[in-house]
Each structure stands twice: as C-alpha cells, then as structure tokens.
Amino acid sequence: MGKEKLHINIVVIGHVDSGKSTTTGHLIYKCGGIDKRTIEKFEKEAAEMGKGSFKYAWVLDKLKAERERGITIDISLWKFETSKYYVTIIDAPGHRDFIKNMITGTSQMTWFKGWKINRKEGNASGTTLLEALDAIQPPTRPTDKPLRLPLQDVYKIGGIGTVPVGRVETGVLKPGMVVTFAPVNVTTEVKSVEMHHEALTEALPGDNVGFNVKNVSVKDIRRGNVAGDSKNDPPQEAANFTAQVIILNHPGQISAGYAPVLDCHTAHIACKFAELKEKIDRRSGKKLEDNPKSLKSGDAAIVDMIPGKPMCVESFSEYPPLGRFAVRDMRQTVAVGVIKGVEKKVSTTEWKMARAKPGCPAVTLTKTVGSIPVSLDLVLCLQVKSSWPPFTQEGFKIERWLGAKTKQEHKRKPFYLVPKYEGKGSVEHDGVASKDAWRISFSHIEKEILKNHGSGKTCCERGGENCCRKDCLKLLKHLLHLLKESDSSPKDVDSSPKDVCSYHAKTTLLHACCARNKDDDWKASELLGCFKQLLLDFQGHLEAGKLQNFFVPGQNLLFGIKKQTLNNLAKQIEEQLLNGFPIFAEGL
C-alpha cells in the first residue's frame, strides 16, 4: 500500500441483525475491496443455506461459526479506498455474548465527533456515505512517543513463521527493530512488517499490521500482549494501577475485593478492586469522601486495582489507548475508567530460586555472570518463622517507634542485589573475585525509615525539627569521617579505621531508635545529650566487636575488622567525648 493517501480506521457498530456486516460488505465490494467472483460464490453458498440476503455480510463473517449462526463474533478488518483515504473498516459484533470483541474493535477506530464540525466547504450533513468518509478529519498520530502495539492475534504461517497482528497505537514499527512483548518479557527482532498483504518500511499509529518476528513460538506471545521498542521505554507488566472509574450500571454495591473483567486495549483480564481510595464528583473531580466502604451506580471514584493475571497497561496521560478500559460483569458494562498511574512489576527472571531447606532461614538465589555461577543467601529481614534459629525469632521492635503498620509495609518490600566490585572494571568483564561479589542493599527501606521516623504521626513532618534523630546521625557520620581522615596508619596494613563506614553509624542509630523508642527520648532541645548517648552506643559496639545488621539477623557488620582497629577507634571516640570534640573545631 502506498503512502500517497492517508490511512484511517472506521468502525461499524449497532444492534444485532441491524445490517452492519451487510452494509459494510456491500461498501467494500463497491469500492473494489473484493472481486465480483467472490461475491457470486458467497451468494451461492448463502442461498444453499437459506440465507441469500447474507452474501455481503459473508465478506466479513469469515469464521464458520459466524456463517452458520449468521452473526458476527470476532471483529473483522477489511480495506478499501476512497478518493481521499485508504480505509480500514472494522465490523464489530452486536450480540451481547461478544461485547468484549466489540470493545476491541471500537478501541481501534479513528474517532469522528459527528456532524457539527464547521468547515469552509460546509458541514457533512446530507452527504453520501463515501463523501462522509472523505469528510473525516484524521486525528494527530503520536509518532513521537515510544512504540506501543497491543496484539490482536498471533498466527503461525508456513514458510514464514510467527506473525503477531495488531494496531500501532503510538510510535513507529520498522523492520529490523528489536521489540519486547509485555507482560511475557519476550524480546526479538522484527523481520518484516505488512499491512493488508503489502510490505511496509514503517508502520505508523493507526496502522493495522502483521509483522514477522525471529525465534519466537506462537505459544510464547498471545492476544493482549503489548509490543514496544526494547531500547525506548519498553512495556512492562503492571503489578497494580490506580484508576479513576465511573460506575455505570451495577445492581448492588461494589466493595474492595470485587474482581470483574477489564477490557483494556486487546486484553481481557479479571482485576481486583484492591482499595477504594476516594469517592469524587464525576464532573469536577473534587474529592467527596476518603476510603468509601462501597460504590454504587452513578458514583465516581479513585481506586487501586490488581490484575488477576499478568497484564500490561499504561497511564492514560502517557499512552491514552492503553490507559482507558471498560469493566464487564454479568454480561453488561458495569463501569468505565482511565488509568492515573501504574506500578510496574520488577523483573527477576535472571535470578533462580533454589528449593527451600526445612528449618533454614535463608533463601538461596543463583545466577550465572559470564561463565561463573554466583549464589546469594537471603534472610528475610522483619518477619521470622518458628522453625528458624532462636536468634532470628526476636526480630526488631520497630513497631514501637514506627508503628505496626510501617513494619507490615516493610515486610512486603523487595531486597535489592548490588554488585560489590573486587577491583576496577565490571563483574561481567573481570569475573567474580570472591563469594562476596554481591551484597544485599536495604537503602530504600533505610531512607524511608529515616524520613518517616517517630512513633507520633507528626514527629518531623513538613521539614519540622521536633526531634534530633537525623541530626545525631549527621554528627556521628561527620565525626567518623574526620577521625578516618586524620588516621595515619600505613596503607598496606590489613585493617584500618577506614574499614568502619557510615553504614555502621546508620545501623547504630537504627538500633538506638529501637532501644529508646519514645519521641521524648530524642527532643531537639537535647541534641548534645542524645548525640553523646549515641556515641556511647557506637563505642560499645566497637569494643564488643559486634554490630548486628538491622535487617539480617545474625550478621555481624564488624566481622573481619581487626579487634585492635576497633579498640583504637573506640578510644579516639572516648577522647573526643571527654575533651568536648576538639576535632570538630579543627575541621572548620
């Protein structure tokens, strides 16, 4: 298909048996989209089945089940040409049993706002059907956005291979492009792109295309998956999403836990209303009520939703075609909505989890880096099992100073695996120098604890200074930095104060907050006294040679540092305490 004419999509919808397929088939025939011999063949077949009037409808009703029942089940895409446009016409089903297919069809159409658009040449009122089609004003196509192409179907074609088909919603699809399919996380190269059996050098938004992909089985991808450019914001699986919904027609009340089917682009997946966050005015968007217990017909709300199966959606503001949906239940459209925000699921496909050992507190993950296998043992940080060793069962009493809700939230947070390089370069190029080449990072949890500290909800909110927890940590880190800078130990010694770092200081504070868990223990007016007490805690850890990892029970963060080094640092801290911190004055 050449590009001298613009390409538009139109959809034909209406009640069952209202003549949609017949009118559409006749239009395609008159515009040269199908030859006379085929129409005569359909006419003969229809007459033999006693359905002579169906000859034009059979142009589109391609499935045997559709021909026998005389209704449209799936959506049908055909092309024809007007004097101004290349047109893909979409015949959508009208029977209620196949509404999900109709929604797929209508979501692909070029929107025409009606007969009230004023133009210099006059309005479209009173024109013929073909003239009305030529009067359509094509929408602006978002070619500047990253590629998003929801799959309508996937075919296996002999001699060619796997051919996904769908409509380009945003971006551009080209042969040679490397694409990723979400939520299945399959990446491959596009070998060729076709539209209506004609090769394209590029497919633009609005184009219904088929494209051949390398080394992908027809079983690997399916309808509802979304293709995107692997190098430019590739699509990802949605862990959950926040949406604004309007309840159209529900006989009862909708509460948290309700799990109807969502039709979003070509996906058809059950999603749970996990939380009803706000009830809002459907016109102004103004908040009316926080955390409503239920919703009824006519209500509008902000809700959190969780897909029941892997699903790829986007926020409406970024990718509109993938950010609007219909809610289906009881064979009717219960609600419609738009997606306000999406939390993407973190991919963990590279790491494999070994089978758990009975009574063992660790979970072992394995991964191959280059040709070298790496294994990593993780111990869950804030939740323990009765079968685990005694030292892990006590846990950390952070609910005393952060609240039980915060502790529950931290239990669900992921661990991050961070490379700990044994030299310059990268693990991939240099290889793994020791078993300790990977370490666990809890920095995201630590930052949140330090930001939202205190047993009272208003401890230091809005930048206030109701306590001195943060200032004590800053002072301890600064003191440690100055002591390390003033250290004159030879560089070739096995251990030096430089082995003690700011993470040891942060861990000391977290333990201190558990031990002194009341906000009154950390009054801003008592900064000096609180800092001295924190220093005594730190000094005690150094002298004992033990500082337990706040998140991993049983792991001593001071293990491997020479006892003499720890004792020397403890003495330096004691001298600073007794002499009024002269090193602070020297550092100014």
Which residue ranges form the domains of the chain, and what is each CATH number? Answer: 6-102+114-135 (3.40.50.300), 148-229 (2.40.30.10), 238-344 (2.40.30.10), 352-380 (no CATH), 443-584 (1.10.1410.40)
Q: State the DSSP H helix or E strand holding residue 103, giving kind and residue range, or none if neither.
A: helix 99-106
Average pLDDT rounded to a whole number, residues 218-234: 92
Q: Which of 15-19, 27-31, 506-510 has the highest mean pLDDT?
A: 506-510
Does residue 251 have a cis peptide bond before it, meaning omega lies within 30 degrees of 0?
A: no
Which pLDDT band holds residue 424 (cuts at 50, 70, 90)? very low
CB 160 within 8 A of CB 194: no
Q: Which residues contact 157 (CB under 8 A, 6 or more apart)?
A: 163
What was the pLDDT predicted at 174? 94
Please state which of the ranges 54-63, 356-365, 514-523 shows the lowest mean pLDDT: 54-63
What was the pLDDT predicted at 156? 87
- As a whole number of angstroms, the distance between CA 77 and CA 409 comes to 48
Token pair 């938004």: residue? 205
Residue 68: phi and psi, rounded to 5, are -70, -35
CB 133 within 8 A of CB 82: yes
DSSP string, 514-531: HHS-SGGGGBGGGHHHHH
DSSP strand pairing (267-280 vs 261-264)? antiparallel
More confident residue, 140 or 572: 572
Residue range 173-200, pLDDT digits in tens: 999 999 999 998 898 999 999 887 788 8
DSSP code of residue 142:
-
What was the pLDDT predicted at 554? 66
Residue range 328-350, pLDDT digits in tens: 988 888 999 999 999 888 654 46
Number of H helices, E strands in the chain: 15, 22
- As a whole number of angstroms, the distance between CA 252 and CA 276 comes to 16
**Helix, coil or strand: residue 69:** helix
Residue range 248-298, pLDDT digits in tens: 988 899 999 999 999 999 999 999 999 999 999 988 889 999 999 999 999
Radius of gyration of the chain measured on its C-alpha atoms: 33
Look up residue 384 and give its two tokens: 């323990």
Q: Which of 88-97, 247-256, 393-402, 551-560 has the highest mean pLDDT?
A: 247-256
Residue 464 has pLDDT above 60, yes or no: yes
DSSP code of residue 35:
-
Cα torsion 99, 104, 107, 112 to 10°: value is: -60
More confident residue, 498 or 222: 222
What was the pLDDT predicted at 240? 93
Burial class (CB in 10 A: 0-12, 13-18, 19+), 209: buried
CB 416 within 8 A of CB 444: yes
DSSP code of residue 423:
S
Residue 461: phi and psi, rounded to 5, are -70, 155
Average pLDDT rounded to a whole number, residues 58-74: 40
CB 236 within 8 A of CB 345: yes
What was the pLDDT predicted at 397? 72
Average pLDDT rounded to a whole number, residues 406-425: 59
CB 470 within 8 A of CB 478: no
**Helix, coil or strand: residue 544:** helix
AA letter at 199: A
- As a whole number of angstroms, the distance between CA 522 and CA 531 comes to 9
The CA–CA distances, whole Å, from 107 to 102, 234, 465 equal 9, 22, 53
The CA–CA distances, whole Å, from 435 to 119, 375, 467, 523, 547 equal 73, 8, 41, 44, 22
Mean residue pLDDT across the chain: 76
Residue 459: phi and psi, rounded to 5, are -55, -60
Look up residue 33 and give its two tokens: 């989209």
- As a whole number of angstroms, the distance between CA 322 and CA 333 comes to 18
Look up residue 56 and give its two tokens: 């034009």
The CA–CA distances, whole Å, from 472 to 80, 510, 530, 550 equal 74, 11, 7, 18
What was the pLDDT predicted at 304? 94
- As a whole number of angstroms, the distance between CA 352 and CA 21 comes to 51
Per-residue HEC secondary structure of 177-197 comes to CEEEEECCCEEEEEEEEEECC
CA-based angle 545:551:555, to the nearest 5?
35
Average pLDDT rounded to a whole number, residues 508-515: 91
DSSP strand pairing (85-91 vs 6-12)? parallel
Residue 225 has pLDDT above 60, yes or no: yes
Q: Which residues of 289-310 are buried (b: 16+ CB within 10 A; e: fewer)?
A: eeebeebeeebbbbbbbbbeeb
What was the pLDDT predicted at 229? 93
